[in-house]
Amino acid sequence: MIKLIYPRQRIFIAFLVYTLLSFAVATLSFWLFRRVESINLLADEVHKLHTRIHNLSKLQSDFLLNEPSNELFYKTGNSPFLKEYVINQAQILNSIGFIKKSPQAKKWNMTKSLDSLQSDLKSSTDMMKELARKIRLRGYKNYGLEGVMREYGRVLESQADINNDLVLQLRRHEKNFINRLDTISLKKWKYHFEDLTKEIIEHKNYKLEEKYKYLSYLDAYKNAFYHFVKIDNDIGYGQKIGFAAKTNQKAQVILKQIDKLDTHSQNKKDSILNQLRFITVILVTTSVIASMLLSLSFPYIMKI
């Protein structure tokens, strides 16, 4: 056993112990600071991602609220909402890629959830683009299939020899279907279409070429109307099926995923920060006690 005879030896040993303890406290404090920094960074990135995805969902809602009745969209095919949606989606995917690279995200077992979110976002964007394509194909007023259908309807109305009452009834059922999207209007349209077709075929005063012309107009109108009905059903305005509903359902799934991820990261952050605060208190307390002990031991150290 080493005997510390001289005061200088005792002072040296005491300060060496204190220095080592202080160094350990400083090193551990630095490690804690860096860990807090990485935890906050990850939690903040997930929260920003949460906000961006909610904004993405709002852009989708704004598109469906505004563009189906915006003639400029049908004319140009451009939509500020859709453009912003695509840009935001790309930024969100980049954010997910950044978060996935974080070692902390792997420790928190977030990789699988992030992969699922990434996949759903990609498919959601594809669905959104397809929905926009179908909406533009469906048309509005003089654009798209609605425009084609209206044009053939006007051609029929302009034929003086055709039963105008039946044509007007057809057009009324057409408009009712557009406004109500109900099967009753569709059935009435079919019923009066058959009546008009039969009347043209059986009309004795029409020449053969006139019958052919009128029937060709009627057939073109029918094809445009049925195509319009099909695309409209595919879109599914106000229904629980169709592209609009599926796109909305996918958006809700994504929102639930990011809500869960954000809550998970915030809970992890709070839990770890509480642990780190406890460790910090222990370190500070230990450092203070060590300082006090060193001060109290000076009389002994200086004693010859």
Residues 193 and 227 both lie in one domain:
yes
146: pLDDT strictly greater than 70: yes
**Residue 210: inside a domain:** yes
**Residue 36: inside a domain:** yes
E strand map for the chain: none
Residues 124 and 162 both lie in one domain:
no
What's the pLDDT score for residue 115? Answer: 94
What's the pLDDT score for residue 20? Answer: 64
Residues 194 and 149 both lie in one domain:
yes
Give the pTM. 0.76
Residues 168 and 206 both lie in one domain:
yes
In the chain, what are the helix, strand and coil shares in percent, each to the nearest 5?
Answer: 85, 0, 15
CATH number for position 211: 1.20.1440
Query: Which of 204, 235, 266 is the endpoint of a domain?
Result: 235
Q: Which residues contact 25 (CB under 8 A, 6 or more apart)?
A: 283, 286, 287
Per the model's pLDDT, the better-predicted residue between 286 and 206 turns out to be 206
What's the pLDDT score for residue 97? Answer: 92
CB 138 within 8 A of CB 235: yes
What's the pLDDT score for residue 1? Answer: 47
2: pLDDT strictly greater than 70: no
138: pLDDT strictly greater than 70: yes
CB 19 within 8 A of CB 277: no
What's the pLDDT score for residue 227? Answer: 94
What's the pLDDT score for residue 3? Answer: 52
Query: Which of 190, 215, 235 is the endpoint of a domain?
Result: 235
Q: If you average pLDDT over residues 81-108, what whole number do you get? A: 90
Residues 38 and 105 both lie in one domain:
yes
Residues 174 and 103 both lie in one domain:
no
29: pLDDT strictly greater than 60: no
Dig out the tokens for 209 from the structure.
Answer: 């070429």
Q: If you average pLDDT over residues 11-33, what whole number do you get? A: 61
Residues 173-225: tens digit of each pLDDT: 999 988 887 889 999 999 999 999 999 998 888 888 888 999 999 999 999 99
State what percent of residues in the chain have pLDDT above 70.
78
270: pLDDT strictly greater than 60: yes
**Residue 263: inside a domain:** yes
DSSP annotation of 237 reads T
Amino acid at 40: N
Backbone phi, psi, residue 236, to 5°: 75, 50
**Residue 202: inside a domain:** yes
Domain, as residue range, for 278: 7-137+239-302
145: pLDDT strictly greater than 90: yes
Residues 259 and 228 both lie in one domain:
no
Residues 56 and 114 both lie in one domain:
yes
Residues 93 and 169 both lie in one domain:
no
Provide the number of structural domains found in the chain: 2
58: exposed, middle or buried (Cβ count in 10 Å: 0-12, 13-18, 19+): middle
Backbone phi, psi, residue 143, to 5°: -115, 155
Judged by average pLDDT, the poorest of 42-46, 97-101, 209-213, 284-288 is 284-288
Mean per-residue pLDDT over the chain, rounded: 83
Residues 119 and 32 both lie in one domain:
yes
Q: If you average pLDDT over residues 91-95, what whole number do you get? A: 93
4: pLDDT strictly greater than 60: no
What's the pLDDT score for residue 81? Answer: 94
CB 22 within 8 A of CB 287: yes
CA-derived radius of gyration, the chain: 37
283: pLDDT strictly greater than 80: no
Query: Which of 235, 263, 292 is the endpoint of a domain?
Result: 235
Q: Which residues contact 186 (CB under 8 A, 6 or more apart)?
A: 173, 177, 229
CATH number for position 23: 1.20.120
Residues 260 and 124 both lie in one domain:
yes
**Residue 60: inside a domain:** yes
68: pLDDT strictly greater than 80: yes
**Residue 78: inside a domain:** yes
Residue 38 CA: distances (Å) to CA of 102, 263, 302: 9, 17, 47
Per the model's pLDDT, the better-predicted residue between 90 and 15 turns out to be 90
**Residue 1: inside a domain:** no
Residues 152 and 209 both lie in one domain:
yes
What's the pLDDT score for residue 34? Answer: 61
**Residue 285: inside a domain:** yes
